[in-house]
Structure 1
Amino acid sequence: MIRIARVFYCTVCVIVLFAFSESRADDTVDITHYAFDITLSDDSDRVEVAAAIHLIVLQSTSSVTLDLVGTGADGKGMAISSVSVDGLNTSFMHSDDRVTIDLVAPASPGDEVLVEIAYSGIPRDGLIISRNKHGDRTFFGDNWPNRARNWLSVVDKPADKATVAFAVTAPDHYQVVANGRLREESHNADGSRLTRWESGVPLATKVMVIGVARFAVDHVGVFHSVPLQSWVYPQERDKGFYDYRMAWPILDYFVDKIGPFPYEKLANVQSKTIYGGMENAGSIFYHENSIDGRRGSETLFAHEIAHQWFGDSVTEQHFHHVWLSEGFATYFTNLYMEHMYGTARMNERLTSSRQSISNYADANPDSPVVDTSITVLTNLLSTNTYQKGGWVLHMLRREIGDETFWEGIRNYYAKHRDSNALTSDFAAVMEDVSGVDLAWFFDQWIFTPSIPALDVSWSYNELERRVIVDARQSHIGRYVYQLPVQLRFDNPDGSQSEVHQFRMSAGSGRYTFPADVKPERVVVDPDVNLLARISVTPPTQ
């Protein structure tokens, strides 16, 4: 997901006040499959839903609790008309945006249960019903982080993944895109169209969506056995088809470096998402101004496509570990840009983000990357989880080496594909492939707030022909970082020395290096590999 600075309409602003808390649905069951039969109309924003929910009981229980936003004083929200369990009508309680359903009989671990719920209403959020930039009516799912509950009856948390099927009945002039594979398109006698999509891959609710609008659709081709599609507003067909075809080299790079694409297709969709981009599984929604005819959204595409592996297929177990999604997508965008345009381009991006991280640390000195004190989930979308998370991966790559890093990335994906992970799971894989204890690394970069400050001064001993470097960790606080510090000497004749390195594991230290002439300057971190505030004091004349 890419955040963008935007002014939201009031109907969207309620998100901040309303939706963002962890799911309170119980953990006594595991949802295995959702089937949503959804009817949309141009007459009103009211939606009708018939949901069939297949689940397995994990703990003995006589009830099941799901998330579903109820009708509020403004008339928005969902009202339930009927609930059945295994085909038998049953009682339920719908309050506080939860549905507690009485099972027909107490259930034991391993029991399979089918819950069917019929409900309708105007979505408060989650399914964004509005008009696009061309004035056309549109319907777009926008579930992150836990807004699916506004229109779908679900266990709305990333750890409970399930397969999903959408059967959408809408006026015939609309086309429908959703997760998975297209199963059916049928024209009905009343002028409506039924479209069925089905995902055979388990998904988190945050990336289960439909998109309903007038589209021009480009079936780009099949790459690595993955059908690649572009869905754009028909008014922008030519520019949109051109721009969105930039997805195929990105897909090609990530499949080659990470592993097989996890979903049945990749549809890139122009949409009304409130984010810059939203990484819905196999159906990525981009903001509606993502088309310019010049492929100006290349980094946005790289970020969202990277999410298909990390964030979607390998999903954070808890939202507080969202850096496993956003930090990965941020760094894999940098890796793609390095692949396409060279290391200098990536270093420009890293240098810029390092300054952003420093600024964020100044404003939030007590906030680590995994910050369990954050209770408003949207506040997890920060420079910490994006840029700093990406920088952590960059430093890990330098710490263990390129070959080992990529082996670890591939193993991590293979081990946790279609499942969930915590930071400890990622660390364990990287320790396994490298044979190195990395507890210190993740402790100081993920679980310790702020970033180090490194003050370097230097002098030259002409008799011994050596550069003397004094380094001091000057940040506030007692934490002493382990820092691999690189140096380069720029000489008066324009030549440059090889890159020297020392590892700093104390608060201060002195280090010496051979040099035939006194350098004109000493460059600390010339290859942009260290996340720190760096200051260099030259010798006095």
Structure 2
Amino acid sequence: MPIFMGKHVCSCANGHTGFSPDSVEPHHAPDLALEPVHLEIEIELFIPERKAKLKVTHTLLARDAGASRIALNGVGFQDLKVKGAEFSYDGQTIDLTLKPLKRGDEKKVTLTYLVDEPASGILFSSPDEDYPEAGFWAVTDHETERARHWLATIDHPSVRPTLEFKITAPEDVYALANGLKVGEKSLKGGRKETHWKLDIRCPAYLTCFAVGRFTRASDGEFEGRELAYFAPDYHTEENLIRSFGRTGKIMAWMSKKFDFDFPFPKYYQFAAPGIGGAMENISLVSWDELFVLDEVFAKEFTWLVDQINVHEMAHSYFGDIVVCRDFSQVWLKESWATYTESLWLEDQYGADEAHYDFYRNAQAYFSEADGAYKRPLVTRNFESSWDMFDRHLYPGGACRLHTLRKELGDKAFFRGVKAYLKKFAGHTVETEDFRRCLEAESGRTLTRFFDQWMYNPNYLSLKVEYSWDKDKGEGRLEVNQTQEGQAFAFDLDVLVVVDGKPTTHTFRVTKSKEHCSFSAKSEPTQVHINPQGNVLMKLEFDPGETLLRAGLDSDLLLARIHAAKTLATKPTKANVDAVWKRYAKEKFWGAKQELLEALADFGTQHAEGLFTQAVKDESDPMVLQSLFSSARKYKNQDIKDAISERLSKGDLPYLAARAAWITLGKYRDEAPLVEIADAARKEGFGGVEQWGAIEALGETREALAAEILMERTRRGATSARNRAMAATTLGRLGAFLDKRAQAQIVEHLEALLRDPETKVGSGAVQGLVELKARGSVAKMRTFLKRLPAQDAVSLGRVVEKVHAPEDQKVLALEKELEELRKSYRGLEDRLAKLEPTKSES
């Protein structure tokens, strides 16, 4: 599951902030009496000026007799002219009126206009005084409804014209777009026109171009489809191949897995700053340049980059060739793409990798469902389409697909999936289309399953009690469904080990409370519930310490994790030693992460000593980031010194170093402020380690850190992403400083609201919210008007939190606790000075 820095990376840059109330009007697909069936885009780019001139020609097909009106999205266009229709334009919507057409008639309408520094949709970059080394490029980034900021179109997935691009740009750039290149010609003034054509229907959010001075890495072809990767020219071919060089292998696996030839004529991928994640544009996938790997970054990040690669390619099937009819149905693309990651791991690396992916998906989904809101996977009630792109959709939906697969069995499930892809290729779909294909191939009625898993806002939560009846030779289970609402119907697997032999008993559960039993020749030495993750559930199950310690040695990963997590709530020396022993011999990186987290959760002095040893000795790059993050649960000099020493060697991979700096920052006034500040001034590869040092400055709660953070927000000081992080961190830090410092920080953050990079302004909004700067609300609301609607809705919810009084109470308590800590440390210092030395006694 590609969750990185708390966000899902296969999506837009702005994080998810909430979900709309039920009172919001439901959303539906637009009427298409006049349907755009072909789109010709002639665009001339002026990259340093961040402008583009466009001539856009729509071929409209009358689906009904008398059709004469159509509304196109188009935000902030200048000098708009229309040929072939009368029009009106309010800055958001272009209403076209044609002479009534006969059913089946086609009509061309041409629009010309200028876009000047669009709020979204196109990202521009060129060198300037503050960033003389910046790349030279213009690229698109559309999900969910951003194309409208430069392209006159119906910005909705149900509208899917075929495409032609004619791109005019400087002669020394690559000009890439969807489909196949059909020509290129030189023009006067050192410019050229590049012509691309896509004969497959394509919605606006998947329409894409990338124009710039790029490094190109060619990677051969797969069954006649060219594979190539692009990034700004300061990147190397070697790093591009290191990042994306498994693409051909993934494509071969996927086309075989789904019994469906790859549906598009090429597969290009490009990376650029500001994308914020990755996006499945047809035949031209976009990535944030954060995912371009050097040799060091590859040690800990290749796994995630490959997962994202699988995810975006899966959209070629789920989302691109089979298209969701509207945003209420987006699980049919995003949940499927996320689940395809698990299928890849299962087929390439085995059960542990797949089970761990399921576990992490489930935990990510539960964190949102328990901590923020619960919603059905399929719903029309949302304020912004971007609201749908949350952890319910990605990991939650993937877990539901896995549960569905296990309900049907592999043969019936994959028969149904293949039939669905073949039947609906080139068409739009809804959830019921998928259900009916599965029913046809399995003979099962799945309405109850879909009602409880897809249309129900709740998830399955189980509390299971276990006992052994020695006289009857019988194990007994009391199964209680503790979720709100209706009871789920599902198969519950119970694995028991008797005399060293595992046996799985399966019980059909349909009621809120049920009793199940099994017979055995002797008392089991291990008992595990849902040990292979066949059903998405939150499980509370404590069979006792003896069985739990034995469970640490299970062959099944989820059983080992459950045992460790449950033992961590029972902080005895025997339990600590058992978890440590398992960690010492564990081979799988995911299990090591969870065992170390359990060791941190024990919270005892004995566990602390063992954890400190792990901080000193652990060398697996896939484990280090999690290890240093878990170290925040202990604060002792030995751990601090061990982390500092490892950082001083300079050989930690970047994410591990990022986590290490943040952990050191949490030592507050004992944190190595000079070293943290030095790290915050060095951007380094990808800016990842710097990112951590910037966050660490905020964790120190030291007034001097505010000056350093202010400097890091300066244009030219570092990347826009890290400037935004510095702005947010500055506000977080300011909440613990005196009123004079807070006033200075508020003034600084308010100035950043006017920064040309809206990413930085958004970071400043987050910082002002952290400060509860009520006096800045009007300025923040003014800033929101610069953003595309979906971002304004999301960030607007954050702004409204400024008025939450309970947050002020929490902040006051944290300040009081911090003052008590400082007083206690001061008392310790005074006592130390009064204590006689050995020579004096």
CA contact (8 A) 1:2 1:276 kept: no
Q: What is the CA-CA distance between 1:124 and the residue it aligns to?
A: 2.3
CA shift in 2, pair 1:366/1:232, >3 Å: closer
Match of 1:291 in 2: 292
Match of 2:750 in 1: none
CA contact (8 A) 1:25 1:156 kept: no
CA contact (8 A) 2:27 2:328 kept: no
Measure the CA separation in 1 of the matches of 2:175 and 2:204.
Answer: 19
CA shift in 2, pair 1:96/1:49, >3 Å: closer
Alignment of 1:185-334 (within 5 A): 185-236=184-235, 237-258=237-258, 259-293=260-294, 294=298, 295-296=302-303, 297-334=305-342
Residue 62 of structure 1 pairs with residue 35 of structure 2: no
Residue 46 of structure 1 pairs with residue 41 of structure 2: no
Q: Which runs of 5+ in 1 are unaligned?
A: 70-76
Measure the CA separation in 2 of the matches of 1:513 and 1:27.
Answer: 59
TM-score by length of 2: 0.59
Measure the CA separation in 1 of the matches of 2:70 and 2:359.
Answer: 50
Greater shift, 57-66 or 164-173, is seen at 57-66
Match of 1:425 in 2: 433
CA shift in 2, pair 1:487/1:430, >3 Å: same
CA shift in 2, pair 1:120/1:5, >3 Å: farther
Give per-residue Cα distances to partners, 1:420-460, cap 9 Å, x unaligned.
11111111111111110011111111110121111111222
TM-score by length of 1: 0.91
Find the residue that maps to 1:305 and give its secondary structure.
Answer: helix
Residue 126 of structure 1 pairs with residue 132 of structure 2: no
- The letter for the 2-side match of 1:99 is I
CA contact (8 A) 1:488 1:524 kept: yes
CA contact (8 A) 2:139 2:209 kept: yes
Aligned partner of 2:377 among 369, 382, 391: 369
Higher helix share: 2
- The letter for the 1-side match of 2:255 is V
Alignment of 1:144-183 (within 5 A): 144-183=143-182
CA contact (8 A) 2:361 2:398 kept: no
Measure the CA separation in 2 of the matches of 1:371 and 1:399.
Answer: 23
Greater shift, 171-180 or 235-244, is seen at 235-244
CA shift in 2, pair 1:68/1:211, >3 Å: same
CA shift in 2, pair 1:435/1:404, >3 Å: same
Give per-residue Cα distances to partners, 1:452-483, cap 9 Å, x unaligned.
11111122222332211111112233x01002
Q: What is the CA-CA distance between 1:146 and the residue it aligns to?
A: 1.4
Find the residue that maps to 2:200 and give its secondary structure.
Answer: strand
Match of 2:350 in 1: 342
Aligned partner of 1:535 among 527, 532, 540: 540
Find the residue that maps to 2:252 and give its secondary structure.
Answer: helix
Measure the CA separation in 1 of the matches of 2:392 and 2:180.
Answer: 35
Residue 473 of structure 1 pairs with residue 467 of structure 2: no
- The letter for the 1-side match of 2:32 is D
Give per-residue Cα distances to partners, 1:23-48, cap 9 Å, x unaligned.
99753211110000000124511210
Match of 1:83 in 2: 82
Q: CA RMSD in A?
A: 2.5
Q: What is the CA-CA distance between 1:399 and the residue it aligns to?
A: 1.1
- The letter for the 2-side match of 1:107 is L
CA contact (8 A) 1:53 1:114 kept: yes
CA contact (8 A) 1:80 1:117 kept: no
Greater shift, 32-41 or 453-462, is seen at 453-462
Match of 2:416 in 1: 408
CA contact (8 A) 1:457 1:539 kept: no
Measure the CA separation in 2 of the matches of 1:420 and 1:271.
Answer: 30
Q: What is the CA-CA distance between 1:394 and the residue it aligns to?
A: 0.6
Residue 114 of structure 1 pairs with residue 108 of structure 2: yes
Alignment of 1:89-104 (within 5 A): 90-103=85-98
Give per-residue Cα distances to partners, 1:487-510, cap 9 Å, x unaligned.
11145x6x2421111110111111
Identity %: 25
Match of 2:503 in 1: 498
CA shift in 2, pair 1:527/1:484, >3 Å: same
Bigger Cα Rg: 2
Q: Which runs of 5+ in 2 are unaligned?
A: 8-12, 18-25, 547-841
- The letter for the 2-side match of 1:141 is T
Stretches (4+) displaced over 3 A:
1-7, 12-16, 21-26, 131-134
If asked which structure has higher relative contact order (CA below 8 Å, sep 6+), I would say 1
CA contact (8 A) 2:221 2:227 kept: yes
Greater shift, 386-395 or 124-133, is seen at 124-133
Measure the CA separation in 2 of the matches of 1:180 and 1:242.
Answer: 25
Find the residue that maps to 1:235 and give its secondary structure.
Answer: coil
Measure the CA separation in 1 of the matches of 2:28 and 2:168.
Answer: 29
